[in-house]
């Protein structure tokens, strides 16, 4: 880990203090990261240059923040849009912490939301009328990261889904429970498949094989090393499915995302045993990073969702959301849901599952939960 | 999807007189691109402060694959600036804030058709190991981009259009002080192109569209469109709240007439701090840019600091280190203090704290809400030029 000296350089590793850092020795050239860290506070530009260079370009003075695209005054204009839909939005809390919004899909308390944000604690839902009620997860569609949740309530107002294709440039409004939207933006890219990046267990393999996949090298910091896998180990199976070669193993592992765990059947000399190995994301710098519940910090634009990739279809919009603002409806100017916010994906992008897909997932989840599918009126 | 043939007749480029000639520029390569290396070698802190937004950086390698010896060519002329009148825009776009949902609908209709109209001229660029974006501004393939993508003259470039077509080209000049650069397609056109505008009459609050290929070109993803408003000038660059990131570098910022008024250059931590090279600098330095000159260096930013490091904390951030003789030190902040507020606003993470302090000017006073043991304090401190208390 490079985190020993990083609290000052603004890197994500520096912001979440792990136990491993307590034993860190100050690096020899401690002054360097510190000096750089201070760069984080620098003003980037010298306003004096403005006048010097662009007398002919009168843009001054700076726009008031409330007039920004997502500023308070601008969001005010969207109030009537939100009025139409905020009765269909719940807010989820996990052990009292707000973690996601939810989209009401049936009057008797069925709600869709982002699955990966609502597990690991006591789940409650704040209903549109302000009541705080217990919430139970009925079923999860792992592929799209959508959960179907039940709350004990009657007479809720299901969201109205929009029909038709959303177009690039169209306003999209992320409604919460307040009078003003959580945030507003436009559609940046029509719906498309969002692949997930390849996750790694951190080994090198003998590609050809005959029976199993032979490990040639184990990389530090990844799941395989943490699980005690060693060079010369032979991997016989992934989640009980036999693998025939290194290539086969790689192929099999491609189906998993960072954050998931696979069970490998390992043969070492005369022993044979199972071991659980965590899949990690490979960072551009080559070091691994674990997707955590808190989400990862995108240093240039706030937090991204822990699960931000790997969707069968998602439309991309430029709304600046926090991870806990996902799970609720993304609506058009008529207050109809054109999608379900499913991820904050980076500085420029949020993803929403298109309305059609969200409804398909809902039907699937209903069956999965043993409920009668909702019949469209 | 974006099958609208490019708009932009009446540009006048073809009929304009060709003037001057290409200068011979031996050895321009290595000197000019030095200014951007900090990003590669200096870690995220610099990214927070002044990230240039290329996916990778213009290298220092010598001009690979220079064009064969060409006879002296006429210097390409600057595209005719298309005049535009604000009054031609829908009223909704001219208000400080839209006043009704009907205004929003008018903006939506305008923006949707504009995005479709200008997209075909936006290209993805590959130069050496660098990738970025650009915008074609003439039918025969002049391309505006940025210096941290182009680097220097006579480098081989591959352009990819939104419809998947590719074209070969070459870099012309780069001004590293402003981050402006010009390239040209050498394959025969005509190419879809966008109109070039000017910033006369552009005011804070004008709506703008940022297009480009964030994160690099992806075949299955069309040009990515983002909406924002003109915030103003900062440091000679246009600032908007239309978000951009790596790979967008060199992509166009359009005004609501569909004219290029800026070119994406850099960002800071805040999503509302996106910086674009103003179009005026291309016009003002056109002969040097089109002539293949490489010059300029990044201005050295004034280094303001507070003099702390910290980590995220449920109530804000917890300070770890207080640098001796720094502003925080002198204001009496202590390691272990929890900063809960900055100028009255809640502090949510160390990253947002840095982002919020970044725009402070040397000499500016900020007020921190601080929790120490069970006490709540208010601490005022003055950000200063880094080094001023240490050296001299």
Q: Which residue in the set B204, B221, B358 is minimally distant from A43, CB to CB?
A: B358
A87 touching chain B per CB within 8 A: no
- Check B267 against A171: CB less than 8 A apart: no
The CA R_g of chain A, rounded to the nearest whole Å, is: 24
Residue A229 pLDDT more than 70? yes
> How many Cα atoms sit within 13 Å of A295 on the Cβ side?
26
Q: Which of A183-192, B41-50, B338-347 has the highest mean pLDDT?
A: A183-192
Provide the ipTM.
0.71
Q: How far apart are CA B72 and CA B63, in angstroms?
A: 19
**CA distance, residue B321 to nearest chain A CA (Å):** 9
Smallest CA–CA distance from A297 into chain B, residue: B351
HEC string of B297-344? Answer: CCCCCCCEECCEEEEEECCEEEEEEECCCCHHHHCCCCCCCEEEEECC
Residue B335 pLDDT more than 80? yes
Residue scoring higher pLDDT (B325 or A349): A349
**pTM for the complete prediction?**
0.68
Residues 18-37 of A with CB under 8 A from B: 33-37
Residue B339 pLDDT more than 80? yes
pLDDT digits 0-9 by tens, A297-337: 444 567 888 888 889 999 999 999 999 999 999 999 999 99
Residue scoring higher pLDDT (B297 or B307): B307
Q: Classify strands A329-331 and A349-354 as parallel, antiparallel or unpaired.
A: unpaired
**CA distance, residue A184 to nearest chain B CA (Å):** 10
Q: Which of A4-8, B5-9, B353-357 has the highest mean pLDDT?
A: B353-357
Residue A87 burial class via C-beta count within 10 angstroms: exposed 0-12, middle 13-18, buried 19 and up: middle
pLDDT digits 0-9 by tens, A177-195: 999 999 999 999 999 999 8
Nearest alpha-carbon partner for B52 in B217, B274, B236: B274
A325 close to A101: Cβ distance less than 8 angstroms: yes
- Check A168 against B225: CB less than 8 A apart: yes
A241 touching chain B per CB within 8 A: no
Q: Classify strands B338-342 and B345-346 as parallel, antiparallel or unpaired.
A: antiparallel
Task: Calculate the dihedral angle through the C-alpha atoms of A214, A216, A218, A219, rounding to the nearest 10 degrees.
Answer: -130
Q: How far apart are CA B366 and CA B329, in angstroms?
A: 14
> How many Cα atoms sit within 13 Å of A313 on the Cβ side?
14
The neighbour count for residue B169, using CB atoms within 10 Å, is: 24
A251: pLDDT confidence band, cut at 50, 70 and 90?
A: confident
Q: Which residue in the set B178, B204, B383 is minimally distant from A62, CB to CB?
A: B204
Residue scoring higher pLDDT (B189 or B47): B189
Residue A332 burial class via C-beta count within 10 angstroms: exposed 0-12, middle 13-18, buried 19 and up: buried
Distances from the Cα of A245 to the Cα of A203, A208, A261, A272, A369, angstroms: 14, 6, 20, 17, 38
Percentage of residues in chain B with pLDDT exceeding 70? Answer: 75
Q: How far apart are CA B392 and CA B390, in angstroms?
A: 7
**CA distance, residue B206 to nearest chain A CA (Å):** 9
Q: How far apart are CA B58 and CA B169, in angstroms?
A: 16
Suggest the residue from A33, A59, A316 to mutate for an interface test with chain B (most B CBs closer than 10 A). A59
The residue-averaged pLDDT of A140-148 equals: 94
Q: How is residue A227 written in tokens?
A: 């699980």
Q: How far apart are CA A6 and CA A30, in angstroms?
A: 10
Residue B303 pLDDT more than 70? no
Q: How far apart are CA A116 and CA A105, in angstroms?
A: 19
pLDDT digits 0-9 by tens, B97-108: 999 999 999 999
Q: How is residue B239 written in tokens?
A: 């600032």
B240: helix, strand or coil: strand
Q: Number of residue pairs across A and B with CB atoms under 8 Å?
A: 295
Dihedral sign, CA of B81, B87, B93, B94? positive
In sequence order, the 6+-apart residues with CB closer than 8 A to the CB of B21 are B72, B73, B74, B75
Q: How far apart are CA B286 and CA B128, in angstroms?
A: 24
* Angle, CA A294 vertex, CA A34 and CA A130 arms, to 5°: 130
Nearest alpha-carbon partner for B286 in B57, B16, B79, B31: B79
Residue A253 pLDDT more than 70? yes
The total number of residues shown for chain A amounts to 377
A333 close to B101: Cβ distance less than 8 angstroms: yes
């Amino acid at each position: 880990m490079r985190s020993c000296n990083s609290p000052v350089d603004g890197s994500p590793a520096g912001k979440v203090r792990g136990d491993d850092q307590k034993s860190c020795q100050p690096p020899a050239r401690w002054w360097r990261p510190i000096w750089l860290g201070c760069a984080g506070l620098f003003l980037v530009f010298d306003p004096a240059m403005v006048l010097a260079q662009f007398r002919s370009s009168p843009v001054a003075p700076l726009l008031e923040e409330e007039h920004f695209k997502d500023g308070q005054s601008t969001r005010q204009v969207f109030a009537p849009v939100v009025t139409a839909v905020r009765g269909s939005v719940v807010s989820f809390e996990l052990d009292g912490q707000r973690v996601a919004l939810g989209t009401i899909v049936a009057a008797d308390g069925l709600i869709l939301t982002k699955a990966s944000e609502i597990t690991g604690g006591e789940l409650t839902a704040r209903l549109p009328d302000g009541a705080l009620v217990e919430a139970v997860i009925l079923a999860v569609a792992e592929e799209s990261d959508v959960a179907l949740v039940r709350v004990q309530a009657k007479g809720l107002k299901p969201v109205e889904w929009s029909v038709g294709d959303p177009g690039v440039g169209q306003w999209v409004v992320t409604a919460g429970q307040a009078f003003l939207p959580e945030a507003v933006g436009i559609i940046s890219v029509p719906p498309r498949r969002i692949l997930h990046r390849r996750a790694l267990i951190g080994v090198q393999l003998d590609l050809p094989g005959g029976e199993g996949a032979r490990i040639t090298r184990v990389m530090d910091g990844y799941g395989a090393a943490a699980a005690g896998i060693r060079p010369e180990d032979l991997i016989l199976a992934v989640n009980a499915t036999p693998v025939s070669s290194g290539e086969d193993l790689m192929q099999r592992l491609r189906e998993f995302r960072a954050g998931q765990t696979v069970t490998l059947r390992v043969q070492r000399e005369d022993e044979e045993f199972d071991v659980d190995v965590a899949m990690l994301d490979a960072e551009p710098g080559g070091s691994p990073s674990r997707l955590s519940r808190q989400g990862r910090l995108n240093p240039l634009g706030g937090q991204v969702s822990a699960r931000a990739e790997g969707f069968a279809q998602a439309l991309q919009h430029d709304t600046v959301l926090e991870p806990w603002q996902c799970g609720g409806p993304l609506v058009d100017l008529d207050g109809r849901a054109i999608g379900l916010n499913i991820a904050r994906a980076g500085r420029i992008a949020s993803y929403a599952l298109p309305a059609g897909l969200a409804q398909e997932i809902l039907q699937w989840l209903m069956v999965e939960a043993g409920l009668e599918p909702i019949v469209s009126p | 999807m974006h099958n609208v043939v490019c708009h932009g007749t009446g540009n006048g480029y073809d009929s304009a007189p060709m003037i001057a000639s290409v200068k011979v520029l031996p050895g321009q390569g290595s000197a000019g691109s030095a200014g951007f290396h900090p990003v590669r070698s200096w870690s995220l802190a610099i990214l927070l402060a002044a990230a240039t937004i290329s996916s990778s950086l213009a290298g220092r390698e010598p001009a690979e694959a220079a064009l064969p010896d060409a006879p002296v060519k006429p210097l390409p002329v600057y595209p005719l600036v298309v005049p535009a009148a604000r009054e031609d825009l829908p009223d909704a776009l001219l208000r400080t804030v839209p006043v009704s949902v009907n205004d929003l609908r008018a903006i939506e209709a305008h923006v949707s058709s504009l995005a479709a109209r200008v997209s075909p001229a936006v290209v993805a660029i590959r130069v050496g190991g660098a990738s970025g974006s650009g915008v074609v501004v003439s039918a025969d393939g002049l391309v505006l981009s940025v210096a941290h993508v182009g680097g220097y003259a006579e480098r081989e470039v591959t352009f990819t259009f939104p419809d998947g077509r590719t074209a070969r080209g070459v870099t012309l000049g780069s001004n590293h002080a402003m981050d402006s650069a010009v390239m040209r397609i050498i394959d025969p056109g005509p190419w879809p192109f966008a109109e070039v505008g000017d910033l006369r009459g552009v005011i804070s609050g004008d709506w703008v569209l940022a297009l480009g290929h964030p994160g690099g070109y992806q075949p299955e993803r069309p040009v990515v469109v983002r909406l924002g408003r003109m915030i103003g000038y900062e440091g000679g660059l246009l600032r908007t709240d239309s978000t951009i990131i790596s790979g967008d570098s060199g992509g166009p910022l359009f005004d609501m007439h569909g004219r290029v008024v800026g070119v994406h250059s850099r960002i800071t931590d805040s999503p509302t701090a996106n910086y674009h090279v103003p179009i005026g600098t291309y016009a003002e330095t056109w002969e040097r840019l089109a002539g293949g000159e490489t010059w300029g260096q990044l201005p050295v930013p004034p280094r303001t600091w507070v003099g702390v490091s910290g980590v995220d904390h449920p109530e804000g951030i917890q300070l770890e280190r207080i640098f001796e003789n720094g502003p925080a030190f002198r204001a009496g902040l202590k390691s272990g203090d929890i900063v809960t507020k900055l100028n009255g606003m809640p502090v949510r993470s160390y990253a947002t704290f840095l982002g919020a302090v970044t725009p402070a000017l040397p000499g500016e006073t900020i007020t921190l809400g601080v929790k120490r043991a069970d006490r709540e304090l208010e601490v005022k401190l003055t950000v200063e030029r880094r080094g001023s208390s240490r050296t001299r």
